[in-house]
Amino acid sequence: MAAINVMIKSTGSYLPEKVLSNKDLENIVDTTDEWITTRTGIKTRRLAAEDEATSDLAFEAAKVALQRAEISPEEVDLIIVGTISPDNFFPSTGCLVQNKLGAKNAVAMDINAACSGYLFSLVIASRLLDGGNYKNALIIGAEKLSSFVNWEDRATCVLFADGAGASVLVPSNGESRLLAFDLGSDGSYGKDLLVPAGGSRQPATIETVEQKLHSIVMNGNAIFKIAVNKMRETFTKSMEKAGVTVDDISLVIPHQANLRIIESLRNFLKLPKEKVFVNIEKYGNTSAASIGIALDEAHQQGIIKRGDIIGLTAFGGGLTWGSAIIKF
């Protein structure tokens, strides 16, 4: 696979102010801090305010990324938002963010690949930039999953949270590159992680609301098993395509879904803990936002620097999965 001469010029993120701890959840649902921590690695998560929507979170992260890139909203050519919790079915969250930013010259769209949304957006934007049609791209992973959580379901309400991560992409001279990527999907597992009602298959009715069918439903055991396998498989494929080994990689940033899944990947790759970025204990599973948030934290903390080879990998509902090897 030929490398794509695109660089991540800047990053940004936004986390809502409200913190929901495991102790807080003990008062909401039949669970304990020990149970949650042992099975997920999560200690706290952030929840958006009632008057905050996904586009608001995305807007805040995007502002930071654009400021750091020293690009004005009017200069933005392309906006892609990865999300499964849009403000509305339509217009797209991308269009809402475009309007909030005042990015009147940008084409905007959404990508629904669940937790793989940031990665899918990264690859699509890189290809469009590589084609020479756009000078820059703003990609955002943003979620307000708290709007779709059944707070009586202890298997899911302890996992999901809110936040946004953004990156500005520009063509590069080859020093920074997208070395390789791998993307995949398997719709036969769609039934194992979904929001059952609200679409054309099962429109909203009094019954669907009463039965909480507009909330996230997950077959945790099935998702765990395929997530472990697919993250290993896709990351290995991307390394092979890029012609690198784990020794060449400075940092792996995996989707923050479950600490046991992350640890399984780390052990498979035989990497020391310091080479795998983890922040799930603070933020929980923010779906499409998680890699963007983690990348921004790693960048701002100086854990990664220009020239480092980093790896990104995710899996999500659909099912979808993907990975990318980047010379940062």
Calculate the dihedral angle through the C-alpha atoms of 233, 238, 240, 242, rounding to the nearest 10 degrees: -170
95 in catalytic set: no
157 in catalytic set: no
255 in catalytic set: yes
The C-alpha atoms of residue 158 and residue 155 are separated, in whole angstroms, by 7
Amino acid at 262: I
DSSP 102-123: T-TT-EEEEE--GGGHHHHHHH
Catalytic residue among 22, 115, 136, 157: 115
Residue 225: which residues within 8 A CB-CB, separation 6 or more? none
Catalytic residue among 22, 136, 258, 285: 285
Where does the chain have alpha helices with state H? Answer: 22-26, 33-40, 54-69, 93-101, 117-130, 206-210, 220-242, 259-269, 280-283, 290-300
DSSP 233-278: HHHHHHHHHHT--GGG-SEEEE--S-HHHHHHHHHHHT--GGGB--
Catalytic residue among 22, 255, 258, 299: 255
Instruction: Give the active site residues.
Output: 115, 255, 285
